[in-house]
Amino acid sequence: MALSKNRINLWQGAVRSGKTIASILRWLVYIEYGPEGELLMIGKTHRTLKRNILDVIQQLVSDEDYKYNRGLGEVEILGRKIYIAGANDARAEDKIRGMTLAGAYGDEVTIWPEGFFNMLLSRLSVKDAKVFLTTNPEGPYHWLKQDYIDREDELDIANFSFNLEDNPGLDKKYIQNLKKEYSGVWYQRYILGKWVLAEGIIYDMVNDDNYISVNDLPEMKKYWIAADYGIANPTAFGLIGLGVDNKLYLIDEYWHSGREGTEKTDSKYADELENFIAKNAVKPDWIFIDPSAKSFITELYYRRNDNPAFYNIAKANNNVIDGIRRVGNLFGQNKLMIVEENCPKTKEELNSYVWDSKAQQRGEDKPLKENDHIMDLIRYTINGLPRVTERITHK
């Protein structure tokens, strides 16, 4: 704590490495002994700030010293009122425009808009005001890395880097299991704490062990279907099952491109989806649909009385980066398998689904929008099954 006396104080590094609790303890000291004036706490959203930070603080202080008011966007800690803000998009900076801050605490700073961070620094105008920040590493071209961490010798910044072994509260088995749960670029960033590029093949952890023959499929406990939709662009369906061995299997695929053949209407694609379900003789728990495919979703709703499977239609969660990480972790643990004979397009896309190098130069992690239709529907499914994937990755 004696070292974190700079204007900007940053705790960054591996997940579960102790950086959050260290920063919280320092923030509590600052709340009690820092300069008078307005204080602010920021997360990506109010919800994530409460879950990641405020709930921890509540456990560390007495009931009398913690009063949270979500409606007012305030929390009282150790007798001081603290404003709460979310930094979820470019408009977020308007929330703090005009404030005069004596101190601030920020969680997950790398996923804030850069403009919000710049506005925050301009608001820290009380004498000796400080900001305390936490984050996991991103790419080396991220604005936080280039403009602040790489310039710590010339800026008033204290930078503390953490790895898993820095947390004495983690037992060896937990650390071993955590290391198994990440692969590729996520292992480099979240386990080793390195600011590395996401480059090349996205699912570079996929190998022959992720492919099986249809004859080796175990009995399935549940099924899901996902669809990525296009008219001129390809439309793809995928059938994913949960085996009795608690692994997920991409069992079958459908793929059609309007550019390579006849363009199909919503009605025709709905026919194709019905045929796909009938061909595999399954009753899917859910059908996850590309959220942009509004007309196709409407067509499926109209058919619910004739096809009960269409009662369980859900607009897919299209969180790209978190979804890619989850899918990659499953592939890396051999918990996501592909029936090779049935899924030739999947294999083709896996070998050509790459990171966008131009986006990397802007400090962004983005897949190149090519050869990605089955990749998208796999992500839709995994994003829609958080409890299932959490359970099987910890077995």
Q: Which residue has the higher pLDDT, 287 or 180?
A: 287
- pLDDT given at position 243: 97
Confidence of residue 171 (pLDDT cuts 50, 70, 90): confident
CATH code for the structural domain at 208-393: 3.30.420.280
Q: Are 289 and 314 in contact (CB under 8 A)?
A: yes
- Rounded Cα distance between 366 and 204, Å, is 15
pLDDT digits (tens, 9 = 90+) for 194-217: 999 998 999 999 999 999 999 999
pLDDT exceeding 90 applies to what percent of the chain? 79
CATH code for the structural domain at 8-191: 3.40.50.300
- pLDDT given at position 393: 77
With the C-alpha atoms ordered 57, 63, 66, 69, is the resulting torsion angle positive or negative?
Answer: positive
Q: Are 19 and 163 in contact (CB under 8 A)?
A: no
- Rounded Cα distance between 7 and 362, Å, is 26
Average pLDDT over all residues of the chain? 93
Take residue 226 and report the two structure tokens written for it.
Answer: 């996902």
Overall average pLDDT of the 97-105 stretch:
96
Give 153: exposed, middle or buried? Use CB within 10 Å, 0-12, 13-18, 19+: exposed
Q: Across 244-327, where does the E strand assignment appear?
A: 248-256, 286-289, 313-315
pLDDT digits (tens, 9 = 90+) for 313-367: 999 999 999 999 999 999 999 999 999 999 999 999 999 999 999 998 888 999 9
* pTM (predicted TM-score): 0.82
Confidence of residue 166 (pLDDT cuts 50, 70, 90): confident
Match 């910044």 to its residue by tokens.
Answer: 157
In the chain, where are the structural domains located?
8-191, 208-393
- Rounded Cα distance between 67 and 118, Å, is 29
SS3 state at 265? coil
- Rounded Cα distance between 45 and 86, Å, is 4
pLDDT digits (tens, 9 = 90+) for 8-20: 999 999 998 899 9
- Rounded Cα distance between 326 and 181, Å, is 9
| Residue 188 CB-half CA count within 13 A | 11
pLDDT-wise least confident of 50-64, 153-167, 288-302:
153-167
- Rounded Cα distance between 296 and 271, Å, is 11
Take residue 188 and report the two structure tokens written for it.
Answer: 């480099």
Confidence of residue 232 (pLDDT cuts 50, 70, 90): confident
